[in-house]
Amino acid sequence: MITNTELHKSGNVFPGMIISFTHVVDTLIFNSNNGVILQVQVLRDSVLRFKYGTGGKMEEDFSYAIDDDGNRGYNKLKVTEEEAYYEITTSKIICQIAKIDLRSRIFDIDGKIICEDELGFHYEESYEYGGEVVKMSKKAQPAESYYGLGDKPADNNMRGKRFELWGTDQYAFGKQTDPLYKNVPFYLGLHNKMSYGIFFDNTFRSYFDFAQERHHVTSFWAQGGVMDYYFIYGPDANSVVSGYTDLTGKPELPPLWALGFHQCKWSYYPESNVREVAQRFRDLKIPCDAIYLDIDYMDGFRCFTWDNEKFPNPTQMISDLREDGFKTIAIIDPGIKVDPDYSVYREAMEKDYFCKRADGPYMKGKVWPGECYFPDYTNPEVREWWAGLFKGLIADNGLAGIWNDMNEPAVMEVPNKTFPDDVRHDFDGHPCSHRKAHNIYGAQMAKATYEGVKKFIYPKRPFVITRSAYSGTQRYTSSWFGDNVATWEHLSIANIQAQRMALSGMSFAGSDIGGFAEQPTGELFARWIALGIFHPFCRVHSSGDHGDQEPWTFDENITDITRNFIELRYKLLPYLYTTFWQYAEEGTPMLKSLVLYDQEDPQTHYRNDEFIFGDKMLVCPVLEPNAKGRRMYIPKGEWYNFWSRETITGGKEEWVDADIDSIPLFVKAGSIIPRYPVMQYVGESKIEFLTLDVYYTLGSDKSVVYEDASDGYDYKKGRFSLRNLRFKGTKDQMTISQFKDGKYTTEYETLRFNFIGMPFEIDYVEVDNVRIPLEDLQYDRKTQTMLVNKEFSEFHVVGKK
Ligand code: GLC
């Protein structure tokens, strides 16, 4: 155990005693006798912000992450002074600030400790760079678990590990590789059945140590900037994630097609190859909504240009693909080729938009085009210019979305893989070096891209995907996990990364299905597709240097399996879209690690493989070759095996059969799951009816179905259709009630109910108090389906006595 004196000797400074205190509206300021200031701001009853100043000064507020539209306000705020501390009480938490050294302790309203400073805030002068290394240490509570931090490939529970945030291009990364592409300084702590979150809003290179160096201490620190963190109380983990997502921003709804299947490779060219691949999907009847153009579509890798030989008429090609139901998405990197004959380069030079080194020369680095300069996306004027560049690709050529890559930023042939520290940035009018701007560079590029795509695709919705990100980037873009490898271990990493990203507020994410580097076997590809269809972003991508990686690359059996899984994704689109809507509305994670699903069950705290898709389906990928199934943990509750329809009671480990054409998949009893007919792409044909799979339970449960025009912004004006469904089951009856909201008229008139696990034979049915003959509902006894008008309010199914 390091003592305070030892730390003092090592150059750390600790806050002194409180000498004055002010309280204005939601903000409390504590001044200590050695110039350390603590500002505690009450944002919500369960959200506190802690910001520290040193040398008697508080830095001005500026954050790229915090969303101004987030919910603010509290019901209660009481501040009292005790002998040893000040006490701040809201309706959810009590926070004590020690007079002697500014250390904080946070309790729930029953007085149970949630989170407490160990040494608390301390800092060290940075002799090399100026400024300070800012540090925070908290006690790791007994049996406390930790989750979050974005795209880390390590196991879900981070206790006992240390991580770094410094966005890095990590080709063929592994389970232990750290740091990775994304920078998400948010973690969730769980102990004593209570969850809370910490968001450390600092863009410098930073570290999180979860009781690794010292077993009872969790700490985080950054190489510069300010100790500025948010504490978010649950007590349930899902509320922590939604609280964090609310703070850093929720996304708008993507166009529905973006939740379809995407096919990518480095690279499809020339034009005839793109057309062939697209045609093959249609010929083989494998649903697909999007096809990607990687860097080879450009003229010598110059962004915003086309290689006229490979793509003589891109507008025509994109339009033909669109006719056939394909959206085309193209890659745009940050590196701009140094070439005086290239208009983007010339314009940026004329306008002085490129990043420069400390002493004045341009930041020059090698990427795909050779020597490049890099726009400073932290300058709002540069972002606006960048956004404007998309007119050609989007408005003129007709691309439906943009893929941002290499934006960590990645630089080739240099040992640190990125810009040197001294590169200058505008940081929205707060000039700084790359040390501060590195971790948000990619995020600002993605934001500028999003604004451009949004402007030129209007009135349709934009689609952007990025490799690097900082907290808050979920407002603008989806993301993928970068350059993984076609191995079984990477299938398991992809599973963890998708869960971790969802827990870190960035649900709209997925892996390169099948693996980017190296060649998957057909079996690995099939198992990866089976998992990938449950990830919010679903795209096959590969480096292309090992051959092809399309659904038909392997044998016919694998093609059929792939088709079946992709079809399942298309069937479940209304469920997935509803899940996205819940994420966009409430910040609810679209995938839930088991710990998010049931934190009270300690069995869930160290699980990695199983997760909940939306809030009603349990998925567990098969992660080994030659398997006929696997053991998995079924969380508490009643579940239906999706395939066999057998029921199982959870709270235990089970062997579950799942041959190569299957995946362990369960549905919570009491759920109503919406389903569309399979289409080859979103909007291919009219939807005749919405199927509702009703999974009987003895008891009641709620389900929702959200629909709208699938694109455009009318939903923001109330043109959506929300079905709040309530299921109630007894021994011999079922009641389904519906409360509808929204002004959107769905194109179908009928709901097709499909009863699963119904324990009785139907005697009669009543819809809105009127008995309807079963023939009128086209009741099919064998499939247990019937058709009901979509406007019903209450629907009784009564069994024979
Ligand atoms: C990077 C990306 C990869 C892309 C390649 C070529 O490696 O991560 O997805 O295909 O660059 O653009």
Q: 307-335, pLDDT tens digit by residue?
A: 999 999 999 999 999 999 999 999 999 99
- Spatial neighbors of 311 by CB under 8 A, at least 6 apart, are 269, 270, 271, 297, 317
- Spatial neighbors of 252 by CB under 8 A, at least 6 apart, are 461, 584
Task: Determine the distance from the C-alpha atom of residue 631 to the mean position of all C-alpha atoms in its chain, rounded to a whole number.
Answer: 27
Q: How far apart are CA 666 and CA 642, in angstroms?
A: 5
Tokens of 731: 């021994």
**To which H or E segment does residue 621 belong?**
none
Q: 294 in ligand 1 pocket by Cβ < 6 Å?
A: yes
Q: Find the mean pLDDT for residues 132-153.
A: 98
Establish if 742 belongs to a structural domain: yes
Q: 483 in ligand 1 pocket by Cβ < 6 Å?
A: yes
Establish if 602 belongs to a structural domain: no
Determine if the peptide bond prior to 267 is cis (ω within 30°): yes
- What pLDDT is stored for residue 700 in this prediction? 98
Tokens 């063929």 correspond to 172
- What pLDDT is stored for residue 547 in this prediction? 83
Q: Which amino acid appears at position 325 of this protein?
A: G
Q: How far apart are CA 413 and CA 671, in angstroms?
A: 54
Binned at pLDDT 50, 70 and 90, residue 8 comes out as low
Q: Which atom of ligand 1 approaches the CA of 333 most closely?
A: 12
Q: Find the mean pLDDT for residues 212-240.
A: 98
Nearest Cα residue to atom 7 of ligand 1: 483
> Following CA atoms 429, 433, 434, 437 in sequence, which dihedral angle do they give, to the nearest 10 degrees?
-30
**716 in Cβ contact with 705 (< 8 Å):** no
The whole-model pTM stands at 0.98
Q: 465 in ligand 1 pocket by Cβ < 6 Å?
A: no
Nearest Cα residue to atom 4 of ligand 1: 266
Per-residue pLDDT reduced to its tens digit, 346-374: 999 999 999 999 999 999 999 999 999 99
Establish if 536 belongs to a structural domain: no
438: left (phi over 0), alpha (psi -120 to 50) or beta: alpha
Binned at pLDDT 50, 70 and 90, residue 87 comes out as very high
**Exposure letters 478-508 (e unless 16+ CB within 10 A, then b):** bbbbbbbbbbbebbbbbbbbbbbbbbbbbbb
Task: Determine the distance from the C-alpha atom of residue 35 to the mean position of all C-alpha atoms in its chain, rounded to a whole number.
Answer: 40
d(CA 132, ligand 1 centre) in Å: 36
Tokens of 455: 């402007």
**537 in Cβ contact with 508 (< 8 Å):** yes
Q: Which atom of ligand 1 approaches the CA of 406 most closely?
A: 1
Residue range(s) defining the domain that contains residue 131: 4-248
Per-residue pLDDT reduced to its tens digit, 701-720: 999 999 999 999 999 999 99
Q: How far apart are CA 5 and CA 158, in angstroms?
A: 29
Tokens of 648: 């199982």
Q: How far apart are CA 196 and CA 160, in angstroms?
A: 18
Cα dihedral across residues 417, 422, 423, 426: positive or negative: positive
Establish if 82 belongs to a structural domain: yes
What is residue 199's three-state secondary structure?
strand
Q: 266 in ligand 1 pocket by Cβ < 6 Å?
A: yes
- ∠ CA 405-406-409 to the nearest 5 degrees? 135
Cα dihedral across residues 556, 557, 558, 564: positive or negative: positive
State yes or no: pLDDT of 5 exceeds 90.
Answer: no
**638 in Cβ contact with 650 (< 8 Å):** yes
Q: 331 in ligand 1 pocket by Cβ < 6 Å?
A: yes
d(CA 330, ligand 1 centre) in Å: 12
Q: Which amino acid appears at position 779 of this protein?
A: Y
Q: 482 in ligand 1 pocket by Cβ < 6 Å?
A: yes
The domain that holds 88 is classified in CATH as 2.60.40.1760
Establish if 464 belongs to a structural domain: no
Q: How far apart are CA 338 and CA 373, in angstroms?
A: 6
Establish if 731 belongs to a structural domain: yes
Q: 565 in ligand 1 pocket by Cβ < 6 Å?
A: no
Per-residue pLDDT reduced to its tens digit, 15-32: 999 999 999 999 999 999
Q: 173 in ligand 1 pocket by Cβ < 6 Å?
A: no
Identify which of 38, 223, 63, 34 has the alpha carbon closest to the alpha carbon of residue 131. 223
586 is catalytic: no
Sheet of 591-593, strand order: 591-593, 611-613, 617-619, 665-668, 638-641, 647-649
Q: How far apart are CA 468 and CA 664, in angstroms?
A: 32
Per-residue pLDDT reduced to its tens digit, 541-565: 999 988 899 999 999 999 999 999 9
Question: Higher confidence at residue 111 or residue 1?
Answer: 111
Nearest Cα residue to atom 10 of ligand 1: 266
- What pLDDT is stored for residue 579 in this prediction? 99
Q: How far apart are CA 258 and CA 507, in angstroms?
A: 14
Q: Which atom of ligand 1 approaches the CA of 482 most closely?
A: 8
Q: 333 in ligand 1 pocket by Cβ < 6 Å?
A: no
Q: Which atom of ligand 1 approaches the CA of 331 most closely?
A: 12
**727 in Cβ contact with 787 (< 8 Å):** no
The domain that holds 752 is classified in CATH as 2.60.40.1180
Binned at pLDDT 50, 70 and 90, residue 102 comes out as very high
Q: What are phi and psi of 334, to 5 degrees?
A: -80, -25
- Spatial neighbors of 5 by CB under 8 A, at least 6 apart, are none
Last residue of a domain, one of 213, 248, 283: 248
Q: Are strands 262-263 and 290-293 parallel, antiparallel or unpaired?
A: parallel
Residue in 151, 178, 271, 408 annotated catalytic: 408
Per-residue pLDDT reduced to its tens digit, 741-796: 999 999 999 999 999 999 999 999 999 999 999 999 999 999 999 999 999 999 99
Residue-averaged pLDDT of the chain: 97
Per-residue pLDDT reduced to its tens digit, 583-635: 999 999 999 999 999 999 999 999 999 999 999 999 999 999 999 999 999 99
d(CA 592, ligand 1 centre) in Å: 28
Among 269, 292, 402, 406, say which to mutate for ligand 1: greatest number of ligand atoms within 8 Å of CB: 406
d(CA 405, ligand 1 centre) in Å: 7
Q: 295 in ligand 1 pocket by Cβ < 6 Å?
A: yes
Contacts 24+ apart (CB under 8 A), 129-134: 129/223, 129/224, 129/421, 129/433, 129/435, 131/224, 131/225, 132/54, 132/224, 133/221, 133/222, 133/223, 133/224, 134/52, 134/202, 134/221, 134/222, 134/224, 134/225, 134/226, 134/227
What is residue 167's three-state secondary structure?
coil
d(CA 473, ligand 1 centre) in Å: 20
**To which H or E segment does residue 240 belong?**
helix 237-248
Q: How far apart are CA 315 and CA 253, in angstroms?
A: 27
Identify which of 433, 477, 481 has the alpha carbon closest to the alpha carbon of residue 453. 477
- What pLDDT is stored for residue 545 in this prediction? 86
Q: How far apart are CA 736 and CA 796, in angstroms?
A: 7
Binned at pLDDT 50, 70 and 90, residue 1 comes out as very low
**Exposure letters 383-399 (e unless 16+ CB within 10 A, then b):** bebbbebbebbbeebbb
Q: How far apart are CA 597 and CA 195, in angstroms?
A: 12
- What pLDDT is stored for residue 10 in this prediction? 74
615 is catalytic: no
Residue in 108, 169, 405, 610 annotated catalytic: 405
State yes or no: pLDDT of 486 exceeds 50.
Answer: yes
Residue in 151, 169, 451, 483 annotated catalytic: 483
Establish if 373 belongs to a structural domain: no
- Spatial neighbors of 674 by CB under 8 A, at least 6 apart, are 574, 575, 578, 690, 691, 692, 693, 705
Last residue of a domain, one of 220, 248, 276: 248
Cα dihedral across residues 282, 284, 285, 291: positive or negative: negative
Establish if 578 belongs to a structural domain: no
In Å, how far are 27, 133, 223, 224, 409 from 54, measured between CA atoms?
A: 18, 11, 15, 13, 31
Q: How far apart are CA 336 and CA 347, in angstroms?
A: 11
Q: What are phi and psi of 39, to 5 degrees?
A: -110, 120
What's the total number of domains in the chain? 2
In Å, how far are 360, 377, 410, 442 from 437, measured between CA atoms?
A: 17, 10, 14, 9
Query: Per DSSP, what are the bridge partners of residue 693?
Result: 673, 754
Q: 201 in ligand 1 pocket by Cβ < 6 Å?
A: no
**299 in Cβ contact with 579 (< 8 Å):** no
Q: Where are the beta strands (DSSP E) in 155-259?
A: 161-165, 182-183, 186-191, 194-200, 206-210, 217-222, 228-233
State yes or no: pLDDT of 540 exceeds 70.
Answer: yes
Last residue of a domain, one of 224, 248, 272: 248
**179 in Cβ contact with 163 (< 8 Å):** yes
Q: 405 in ligand 1 pocket by Cβ < 6 Å?
A: yes
Among 173, 331, 368, 549, say which to mutate for ligand 1: greatest number of ligand atoms within 8 Å of CB: 331
- What pLDDT is stored for residue 61 in this prediction? 97
160: left (phi over 0), alpha (psi -120 to 50) or beta: left
749 is catalytic: no
d(CA 268, ligand 1 centre) in Å: 13
d(CA 331, ligand 1 centre) in Å: 9
